[in-house]
Structure 1
């Protein structure tokens, strides 16, 4: 930056619940951090929305490479102003559109009479397609809100919106595009004319060709410089105007790189509002029970596959708000863990499902919902708390088994995120999966008890 070694670097993480900023010195030591929350609205079951302008205002409270949630879809007008609330990554209203895309493209008959799938990922193109992804959400906006679609000049993501506010430049991250837009991330970076790696035939097959015109033309890999910060952004964030803005990517996949999971044989588990189980593969492998492989992600020379749970930390936050009494307003998550630690495994017959926002893998079902089964008058709030902790762990076990059945090999779990703050939950993950759990914050790994 400016030709010399930076004295410090700032990073921003736009998450589901808040936007966080941290400053690091050249040795990687954290110098300071700050977080500013914003609101998620659920106007209907399965829906989830946020106001893009709130992201920017919250970022001004904190303050530069940015990672964000993925795939949180934003529609902008000609003046680059949001036309509607953003469709949050966990929003699964586009289930019908996901099914439509799969039915049109799975057995697509080309002009020469050859039948093939136009979908490059997920079981050799046989699906599933997630309602969380870019194409179903774009198709939903076009079908259900045609006036918004007509007025939109740009369809992009949270990541792109923030970088636009920072630099005045629209630019998609190749990692986002490879993992959620059906792009070939490697080809998209190699061809700078705005045509490389785009799924043009797929767009034609689902009558969504006009989306290509609304997507950002420029595509950069994580770590590439987008440009200098604008004066308006520098004033908003109280930064110097010479700061370089560097391309980031999806929060979980940036975390994957941070954990060092950039070679085959390593499994990263990124935890927060959701769980993502990610592993680099030596080739673009597709199979049942997992998502991927994504070519050119998280970095252009790599491919990776994933398992996932849509609602994990968000379920615990919901559970805390449900069971907290007036005398417990100051209680923290660790206090509920202490109560739950005294409950026996299995919660005296109480079983929970964590699929509040649908299921990702090994079964992809956006209509799946959560549950508490086996409630009796003897159960207390600590039983409910532990039941949801256990349900997330068993969901993780199912995702990992799905990856294993597809031939993805690993010997331990490298974990980052909110779960690492809970010794009880870390031990549960190790017990249920049967694998050692290691984290940069742990001196010793958690092993199966």
Structure 2
């Protein structure tokens, strides 16, 4: 526990695997963290569900742990905010009881409904690659339409059908709101065009769902209510604490990295990469998602890209082809990734001609292609395990740079990336990202940017800072900056172009193989 002075802010993070509670002071210094896990079930292939009761119990446990660890009084908590996964859809009755398990963000049961988006000429389609990219079954209207057709009784009884962050709002305050982040980024809401695209929802097959969506669409950091007496008793807190509107988890991370003005891009790393940043003008285009109106900061537009498989590909290699390294790491107490990095550090740029494409689980952007698969090419008998590891690292950096190139071609140029997550534990890999892309990368003091972002919104909702930008100025602190090596950047451009050209050459063959395997 770090000794600081109050007031304190409590941030709640409902991730895929656990509920984390963090306590920060007004300077952005962490006091303590606590986490409690819960289960995901997969009733059928492509389905993923969680029980909201498990979420609520996990929040209670984590909150009590955090307060006990912090050693502070409940009265010292000046504000609360939160984030949760998106689109994790929860059906609730008129008494606030969940009617079925939540349909998780990763659930793709609604694929046939997402294909209906191609039949629509609505402006809503613009956020999917300027209208050229397929819609994803993860998003709200498709899951709503599936529920309407396949579980008509549940759909009929649902007083509210909300994204997980809005479930949290209700549980903490008893108020029903729709957060602007989920609405704009995953529900096709656009204030610039008058709100909801009713015609689009009707094409999908759920034009009547608006009766189930809370009418009050609220900007992030706005106070949505006060902590209720019941919630306070269960969480071990004081009733009446201001509760601020929270977003989806990735965008809480963006806020926690201080990416709240145009020109910066948050690079949130882990099993996958999420790239998200701000523009001062509306922008749509092929190869990325957005721009989403007001979704993070009112008056700005958010653009988004992403790589499905990044850290997960390194893990795949470690688990399947580096068991000797894993054993050595266990004996020495070092990270197996550090040992792999040491072995690969002398591999030259381009990995002696070995190029890997990281689309092992499909592509989010720039192709939005669920049938995409990984490619390994340029193999020779001179290549060893260290080449593979280095080439995988390069492939992820190439994928990030490719996304930035696509955005730049549409008028969104990134001047700086701010990174968080697992990849930042390797300075060498982060430097590779900077060298390949030619864009500087900043690292911030608090690694858990998601929890910090929620706490920053709590500060705004409590009136301790006037807006999100001021909270960022006071609570986000840069500790390192990696400038691209220009010589290495120029040398990387040949290999980046080869990487970018590779998948389009193989796409038709890969699709045919995937289709064949699905029919086997």
Which of structures 1 and 2 has the larger relative contact order (alpha carbons within 8 angstroms, sep 6+)? 2
What residue number does 1:338 align with? 339
Q: How far apart are the structure 1 equivalents of 2:54 and 2:360?
A: 25
Q: Distance in 1 between matches of 2:263 and 2:151?
A: 44
Please give the per-residue CA displacement for 1:224-258, whole angstroms capped at 9, x wherever unaligned: 11112123322332212232211111222222233
| Corresponding residue for residue 162 of structure 2 | 156
Q: Which residue is 2:423 aligned to?
A: 419
Match of 1:293 among 286, 291, 294: 291
Conserved in 2, the CA contact under 8 Å of 1:46 and 1:357? no
Write out per-residue CA displacement over residues 49-89 of structure 1, whole angstroms, 9 at most, x where no aligned residue: 33332222222222221012222222234443333433332
Return the alpha-carbon distance in structure 2 between the equivalents of residues 84 and 375 of structure 1: 50
- Alignment equivalent of 1:276, drawn from 268, 274, 277: 274
Report the structure number with the largest CA radius of gyration.
2
Distance 1:350 1:163, change over 3 A: farther
From 133, 137, 147, the equivalent of 1:131 is 137
Matches within 5 A, 1:57-76: 57-63=57-63, 64-76=80-92
Q: Structure 1 residues 91, 404: CA separation in 2 closer, same or farther (over 3 Å shift)?
A: farther
Q: Which residue of 2 aligns with 1:112?
A: none
How far 1:265 moved relative to its partner?
A: 2.1
Structure 1 residue 138, shift from structure 2 partner: 1.8
Higher mean displacement: 312-321 or 71-80: 312-321
For 1:100-139, list aligned pairs within 5 A. 100-103=116-119, 105-106=120-121, 117=123, 119-139=125-145
Contact 1:174–1:186 (8 Å) recurs in 2:
no
| Structure 1, unpaired ranges of 5+ | 107-115, 188-195
Q: How far, CA to CA, are the matches of 2:252 and 2:419 in structure 1?
A: 13
Q: 1:9 to 1:431 in 2, by over 3 A?
A: same
- Using the size of structure 1 for normalisation, the TM-score is 0.83
Shift of the alpha carbon at 1:43? 5.2
Q: 1:141 aligns with which of 138, 147, 150?
A: 147
Distance 1:383 1:231, change over 3 A: farther
Look up the match of 1:439: 443
Aligned residue pairs: how many? 427
Q: Which secondary structure does the structure 2 equivalent of 1:276 belong to? A: strand
Residue 41 to residue 431, structure 1, CA distance change in 2 (3 Å)? farther
Matched residue, 2:407: 403
Task: Say what the alpha-carbon RMSD is for the aligned residues.
Answer: 3.3
Normalised TM-score (structure 2): 0.72
CA distance in 2, matches of 1:100, 1:197: 21
More helix as a share of residues: 2
Q: Is the 8 A contact 2:60 2:235 kept in 1?
A: yes
| Deviation sequence 1:315-345 (CA, Å, 0-9, x none) | 5556656568695795989432322331235
SS of 2:444's equivalent in the other structure is coil
On the 8 A contact 1:175/1:299 being kept in 2, the answer is no
- Report if the CA contact (8 A) 2:365-2:403 is conserved: yes
CA contact (8 A) 1:118 1:201 kept: no
- Residue 292 of structure 2 aligns to a residue whose secondary structure is strand
| 1:232-271 alignment runs, 5 A limit | 232-271=230-269
| Shift, 1:41, TM fit | 4.1
1:360-409 deviation per Cα after TM superposition (whole angstroms, max 9, x unaligned): 11101233345677899998876665554433322212211211121211
Distance 1:392 1:258, change over 3 A: same
